[in-house]
Structure 1
Amino acid sequence: MMLPPQLAPWSAWLSLLPLDLVAPLGQMLLRLQPLVGRMAGVAASADDIPAGVGSIARRGPYERMLLSEWGVLDAAPDEFIRRAAAHELLFSAPEPQVQRRARVCVALFDAGPEQLGEPRLVQMALFILLARRAQLDGASFEWGILQTPGPLHADCDQPALERLMNARTVARVGSAERDGWNRCLAQVDLLADVWQIDGPGAGVLHRMTARASIEQPLLDERLQVTITQQGRARQLMLDLPDPASAVRLMRHPGNARLDKMRDRIGGHDTPSLKHAPIFSLGGHSVVTARADGGSLHFQVSDVAREGYIAPRRQRRPKKGSVIGLTAVGSTVSCSKNRVWFNQFHGAFHARECPLPPPEQFTTPRGTGQRLPTFHMNTHDTGGRIFVLDAVGRLVCWSAVSTADANTVFEVIATGVVGVVQTGDTLVWARIKDSCTTLECYRDGAVSPREAFVFSGLSTRVLFGDIGSSKEPRSWRIAAAIKETTWLLGQGKEQCNVEIDDGATVIGVTRSEPADWAELALLVLDPSRRCVELRGETQRRVVLTTTAPIAQVTLDPASDRFCWILSGTHELFVRHLHDEQALLHVIPDGVPDAP
C-alpha cells in the first residue's frame, strides 16, 4: 500500500487497514503525535573503564602528545611555547565505553465504561504512536489493561490491536486494580516510561511518567485529549472520523472492508435537500450542505470503485449564519454587521470584515439560503472572493495577504443572471442596455472585461464547458429567452430548444460525448422523477427514479451529474453517458430507495 509521506512512520499498522480507513486514522495520528513527543530517558554517560585510544584532547601527559606537536617543537620552539600557554596542544586520549540502560515503554489502557465508544479510537492511535516511538528510541513496548493487573503484553501487531479494541468491560478501575498494577510496575525497570491512558477523575498509579486523559464534552462532537508529561499538561480538541468509519475501526480494525460500493454515513451527516451539490473544478469531488450549516466533501473517482471512502466534514461556523458555500467546502457567514470567511486558504484564512450596507450587498432572506460563492487565490494578486447576492449583484472582497488586515469590497456588476468559475477565470452574464452581455475576470487582471454581447433579454444564462478557451464566441451557453424557450449556442452553432412547462433546466452540454453531437439541455421534468437530455431534434432519458429528486447538479467540464433523492436523502454521482454510479451515499438509518 502506498501511503502519503507524512504517514510513512506508522506504515506497519496503517498497512493492515483497508485503504479507505487509512485517512481518518492517519489524521488522528498526525494531530496527536506532537503531544506525545519523544521518549524521556537518561542520556548516555561515560564509563570509568577506557576502551582504547581513540580520542583527542587538549590536556594530558606529554608522553601522549601527538607527533605533530613534537614536530612544532623542533621547527618553531616559540610557537610551541605559545600553544602550550594557550592550551592548544593536542594529546591522544582514551575513548570511554558508552553504556545505555535497557529502556521500556509501558502503556496501560482503561477499558471501562468511561472509555467506551469514540475514546477507544484515541486509545488505538496512542497505542500506535507509543509503539512506534519506542521502536525509534531502541526501547521495547509493553502494554496492559488497567482493569486486569498482571503480566504485560509485549506484542504490538494487528492481533494486539484487536485485543485492545475487544477489551471492553463495564467495570471501573478500583483501588484493588491500582494496587495490583503498582506491584507489577515495581518490578519494571526504574527508567521505564509509564503511560496511564484513561478518563478524567480516575485514580493515579504510583509510577507514572505521562498520562493521557480522554473526555467526551457534553456539547461538542469532538473529543478532548489532555496529555500530561513532566508536570506540563497540553490539551487538544480532536475531530473524529465519520460514524461509519469509526464503527469499522473499533469493531474490526484490520478486517473492515465493505463488499458494496455504496457509502453509509451517520444520520447527522445527512445531505440537505435545500441546496444543490457543488462540483469542484474538474468534477473530481462534490460538496453538499448539511441541514445544520456544515458541509460534506466527497471524493469522486474516475471509475466505479469498491470500498468506502469517508467524506471530509466541515462543521457550521461558530459565528454568523452561512450565506455562501464554495466548491471546496469553504463558507461565508454573516451577522447583522460582520462577515466571516471560514476554512479558506491564502489571504482569506480566518478573515473577517464589516458587512457592506444593503444598497451594496443583499443577503438572502431567511436562514438556510445560500448564495453562489467563488474563490480565487494567487501569490501575486492575493485572494478574491466573489458572491452573487440575492438581487443579482456580483460583489467581490479582495485581500493582499494574511499579514494585511485590510479587506477591499467592491460591486463588480449588477443585473447578473448567470455566473460560473473555470480555473482562473470567472465568467458571468448580465443584463445591460436591453442586451445580454457576457463578461469575464481573469485572475491578475485589474478589472473585468466585456467579452461578448447578444441582443435580447435573458432571465437566466447557463454556461457549458468553457475550458481554457479565451475566445468568448467559442463558449457554450444557454440563455432563457422565454418562459419555456432556451437559446443554445457555441461558435457558429445556434438553436432553440423548447422545454415543458414546470420543468427545471439543470445545465447545457451535448447529446453525445462528441463535438459533432447537437447541443442539449439537461432537464428535470415537472414530476421530478426523470432527467433527460433535450436538443433541438433529439430527446434522451438519462435517469428515472421512483422517489422524487430534490436537487440535481451538472459539471459541464466532466459531464458528471449529481442528484439527491427526497425522503431518503441519498446522494448519487455518475456520468451522463454511463449508467454505472461513481458514488452512492446512504445516510445511516434511512431505508434504501429503488
Structure 2
Amino acid sequence: MQLPDGLQPWRQWLEWFAPEHLPLFADLLGRLNPILGPLRGRQQGGVPEPDGLGDLQRRGPYERLLSSEWLLADEVPDEFLRRAAAGEHLFVAPQYHTRQANRLIVVLFDAGPLQLGAARLVHLALLILLGRRAQEAGAQLRWGILQQAPELYELDSSAQLRRLLNARTYEVVSNEHWQTWRNWLTEQQHDAGECWVVGQRLPNTDGQLCTHRAQVHRSLDRESLSFELQSSGNRRVSLPIPDEQLALQLLKGQFVGETIEAPVLKGSVPRVSLTSLPVIASAGTHIAMKMLDAPGVVLIELPAAGQKKSLEIRRQLWNPAWTPLSLTFMHNKLGGVLSNHQELSFWNMSGLVSVVKPEPDELKLPPGTASFLPVVWLRNSITGRLFLLDNQGHLAFWAIATARSPAKPKSGVTHYLADKVLGLAKVDKDRAAYVRSDAGRLYAHSINAEGVVSPAYVVGDGKGVTQVLFAGGKQWQSGFGGCALLTVTPEGERWQVVAAPNASMPTQTLHLSSGWKAVGVWQQEGDDYCSMVVYSSRRQSVTLRSGNGQSRVLFTTSNPIAKISFCPVSGLIAALTSATRELLVYSLPLNALRLQIFCNETSDEHGEGTDA
C-alpha cells in the first residue's frame, strides 16, 4: 500500500485498513499525535544504581582497595605506608547506571454507552498512536476494557482492533471498575511507565498509578468530538465527526475489502481473452470468460463463505466455425449468440432455433467482434425472449416457444423492438430496460419475458449523450428504476444520474477527471439514491462514487485492468488485469472480494467441461 509521507510512521498498523479509510485516520492521527506529549517513565533518573565494577581510581574507601595492595602491606609494610601517604594506592571504582523508565504502557478503555459511535474510532486511532509510542521507546503496549474482568491484550493484528470494537457494553464505567483494575495491576506487579484511562465521565483515579486521563465526548453543538488529555497539564483538541458510511464500516470491523477464502481449485484456469468482458450471472453465482486458446468459455462458480468443496473450473466449447457475438446467463445456465456468414445460432438456449442472419442495415453484426454485444435473456414458465442491441442502436429480439404456450410472435424469426437505442441491460430477475432517443428526448422502457413494454418515462435531453448505464432494482417492475447518461467533455466524462421518481435526489451530476471511466450504476436495497462504479485513469483502482462527492475505494489491483464489467442486479464487479490475467470479483452487497484467481494456464490439463 502506498502511503503519504505524513502517515509513514504508522504504516505497520494502517496496512490493516482499506485505502478509503486512510483520510479518516490521517485526520485523527494528525490531530491527536501532537498533544500526547513525551513518554513518561515514573522511575527515570533518581539515585544511580551500582552495575558491577568499573575503572581503577587513586581515591576510595579501603574496603575497595585493590587486593594486590593488601599483599604489599603484608610483605613490605613500609612501602604500603609510603604509598598511602603519597596517595598512590589503587581502588576499584564501581560502575553506575541511571534508572530507566518502565517499559510498559497500559491503556484502559471505557466501552460503555457514552462511548458508542464515533468515539470508538478515536479509541482505534489512540491505540495506534500508543502502539507507535511504545515501539519508539522499546516498550510494550497492553490494553484492556474497564468494564470487563482485568485482562490485558497485545496490539499485534487487526483482530485486536475488532476485539476492542466488539467490547461494547451498556454498563457505565464506575469507581468500582477502576478499583478492580488498580488492585489487579498491583497484584500482578504491572508497574507501568504509563497508564492511560480513556472514556467519558471517568472514575476517580490516583496519580500514583494512572498517568493519563483522556476524555472523549461530543461537543455541545454535536458537530464535532472533543478530546481532552489530563496529564502533567490539560490539553484539548477538536476532532471532526467521521463520514457516516466509512465510520459504519469500521465500527462493524470491516477494515479491508475482506476476501472470501476460495476453496482449493479442481483443475486449472485456462488462459482467457483480454478483449472480451467477463460475463456475470445476475443471480450472482457464476462468472464466464472467453478462452484465448480454444473456441469456448471458462465457467467459474463463485465460492460461498466457508465452502469446503473444491472450486471446480469448467470449460464449455462451441463449434469453431461459429463466432460468438454475445454471452449471457439464465439463472446459472450460460448461453450465447453465435454467427457465421449465413445464420445466427443460439448456443445452449433451449426454445430458440437458428435464424437467417439479418442484413447489416437491419442488424449490424460485425464479424469477429472483440467486444460482446449487449444481450438480455428473459424466460418464465410460459415463454421467453432474447434481446440483443447492435452497435447502430437497433434492438432486436427472438421469441421462445414452449410446450405450454407457443411463442407469439413467431419463433425462428428476427423481430425488431426499437431503433436509436442507447443502452440495454437486465435490471431485475425477470425484466430488461432500455433507453431510446426520439426527437432529441430520451425515453426509458422496461420489458418482461412476455414482451409487455412499460409506458415511456422521459429521462431527459438526448443532446450529446453517448452511453446509458442502468441501475437495477424492483422499481422497474412498476415504472422507472434509475439510469445514468454520459456526455463526454474535454475535461472528462460527465454523468447525469437520474434516479427513480420517489428518490430524495432525483438527479445528480458526476464529473470524472480525464482518464477515469464509469462502468455501472448501483442502488443499494433500501436506499433512494444511486452511486456509480468507476475506475481510475491508471486502471488500478475501482471506486464507488456518489453525486454528493463522497467516494469509497472498493479494491485495487497490482496490474492495470484490461476489462471490467458490472451487474446492476447482483452488484458484482468482475475485473481482469492485463499482465497477469488476474480475475477479481467484488460484491457490493457484501463489501467483500468474492474471488481472486489467475486465469493464465496454458497447459492442456484443464477441468472437464461440455462441448456444444
Q: Provide the TM-score with structure 2 as the length reference.
A: 0.49
Structure-to-structure mapping, 1:313-462, within 5 angstroms: 313-327=315-329, 328-345=333-350, 347-348=351-352, 351-381=353-383, 383-401=384-402, 407-421=412-426, 422-445=428-451, 448-457=453-462, 458-462=465-469
Structure with higher Rg: it is 2
Q: Which one of 460, 463, 471 corresponds to residue 470 of structure 2? A: 463
- Counterpart code for 1:466: G
- Counterpart code for 1:275: S
Counterpart residue number, 2:291? 290
Counterpart residue number, 1:562? 574
| Cα pair distance change 1:362/1:516, threshold 3 Å | closer
- Counterpart code for 2:498: G
| Cα pair distance change 1:304/1:278, threshold 3 Å | farther
Q: Distance in 2 between matches of 1:352 and 1:577?
A: 38
Tell me, yes or no, if structure 1 residue 583 matches structure 2 residue 587: no
- Counterpart code for 1:471: S
Confirm or deny: 8 A CA contact 1:524 1:530 kept in the other structure.
yes
Relative contact order: is structure 1 or structure 2 higher (C-alpha 8 Å, sep ≥ 6)? 2
Structure-to-structure mapping, 1:70-89, within 5 angstroms: none
| Cα pair distance change 1:359/1:517, threshold 3 Å | closer
Q: Which one of 496, 503, 515 corresponds to residue 487 of structure 1? A: 496
Q: Give the C-alpha shift of residue 294 in structure 1.
A: 0.9
Confirm or deny: 8 A CA contact 2:325 2:372 kept in the other structure.
yes
Q: Distance in 1 between matches of 2:307 and 2:324?
A: 33
Q: Give the C-alpha shift of residue 397 in structure 1.
A: 1.7
Confirm or deny: 8 A CA contact 1:392 1:415 kept in the other structure.
yes
Q: Distance in 1 between matches of 2:429 and 2:589?
A: 24
Q: Distance in 2 between matches of 1:353 and 1:336?
A: 12
State the secondary structure of the residue aligned to 2:311. coil
| Cα pair distance change 1:479/1:343, threshold 3 Å | same
Ranges in structure 1 where 5+ consecutive residues have no aligned partner: 1-258
Counterpart residue number, 2:509? 496
Q: Distance in 1 between matches of 2:545 and 2:538?
A: 16
Q: Which one of 477, 488, 491 corresponds to residue 483 of structure 2? A: 477
Tell me which moved more, 580-589 or 415-424: 580-589
Structure-to-structure mapping, 1:208-357, within 5 angstroms: 261=263, 263=265, 265-266=267-268, 269-291=270-292, 292-303=294-305, 305-327=307-329, 328-345=333-350, 347-348=351-352, 351-357=353-359
Identity among equivalent pairs (%)? 21
Q: Give the C-alpha shift of residue 394 in structure 1.
A: 0.8
Q: Distance in 2 between matches of 1:541 and 1:577?
A: 15
The one-character-per-residue Cα deviations of 1:117-138 (angstroms, maximum 9, x if unpaired) are xxxxxxxxxxxxxxxxxxxxxx
- Counterpart code for 1:558: S
Q: Give the C-alpha shift of residue 427 in structure 1.
A: 0.8
| Cα pair distance change 1:338/1:301, threshold 3 Å | same
Q: Which one of 514, 520, 523 corresponds to residue 534 of structure 2? A: 523
State the secondary structure of the residue aligned to 2:374. strand
- Counterpart code for 2:372: R
The one-character-per-residue Cα deviations of 1:262-312 (angstroms, maximum 9, x if unpaired) are 647536x22221111122122122222212331122222442645522133
| Cα pair distance change 1:398/1:260, threshold 3 Å | closer
| Cα pair distance change 1:505/1:583, threshold 3 Å | same
Q: Distance in 2 between matches of 1:472 and 1:308?
A: 43
Tell me, yes or no, if structure 1 residue 548 matches structure 2 residue 560: yes
State the secondary structure of the residue aligned to 1:485. strand
Q: Give the C-alpha shift of residue 429 in structure 1.
A: 0.8
| Cα pair distance change 1:521/1:360, threshold 3 Å | same
Confirm or deny: 8 A CA contact 1:528 1:548 kept in the other structure.
yes
| Cα pair distance change 1:300/1:367, threshold 3 Å | same
State the secondary structure of the residue aligned to 2:559. coil
Confirm or deny: 8 A CA contact 1:265 1:588 kept in the other structure.
no
| Cα pair distance change 1:464/1:288, threshold 3 Å | same
Q: Distance in 1 between matches of 2:365 and 2:375?
A: 13
| Cα pair distance change 1:580/1:281, threshold 3 Å | closer
Q: Give the C-alpha shift of residue 425 in structure 1.
A: 1.4
Q: Provide the TM-score with structure 1 as the length reference.
A: 0.50
Confirm or deny: 8 A CA contact 2:296 2:315 kept in the other structure.
yes
Confirm or deny: 8 A CA contact 1:418 1:461 kept in the other structure.
yes
State the secondary structure of the residue aligned to 1:429. strand
Confirm or deny: 8 A CA contact 1:552 1:564 kept in the other structure.
yes
Would you say how many aligned residue pairs link Structure 1 and Structure 2?
A: 324
| Cα pair distance change 1:418/1:312, threshold 3 Å | same
| Cα pair distance change 1:439/1:519, threshold 3 Å | closer
- Counterpart code for 1:488: V
Q: Distance in 2 between matches of 1:581 and 1:264?
A: 20
Q: Distance in 2 between matches of 1:589 and 1:288?
A: 14
Q: Distance in 2 between matches of 1:514 and 1:396?
A: 30
- Counterpart code for 1:455: G
Q: Distance in 1 between matches of 2:438 and 2:394?
A: 13
Confirm or deny: 8 A CA contact 1:295 1:329 kept in the other structure.
no
Q: Give the C-alpha shift of residue 462 in structure 1.
A: 0.9
Confirm or deny: 8 A CA contact 1:296 1:329 kept in the other structure.
no
Q: Distance in 1 between matches of 2:562 and 2:306?
A: 24
Confirm or deny: 8 A CA contact 1:304 1:583 kept in the other structure.
no
| Cα pair distance change 1:375/1:558, threshold 3 Å | closer
Confirm or deny: 8 A CA contact 2:580 2:600 kept in the other structure.
no
The one-character-per-residue Cα deviations of 1:511-552 (angstroms, maximum 9, x if unpaired) are xx5745853211011111111112222122111222111122
The one-character-per-residue Cα deviations of 1:156-197 (angstroms, maximum 9, x if unpaired) are xxxxxxxxxxxxxxxxxxxxxxxxxxxxxxxxxxxxxxxxxx
Confirm or deny: 8 A CA contact 2:382 2:402 kept in the other structure.
no
Q: Distance in 2 between matches of 1:367 and 1:455?
A: 32
| Cα pair distance change 1:374/1:319, threshold 3 Å | farther
Cα RMSD after superposing both structures: 2.8
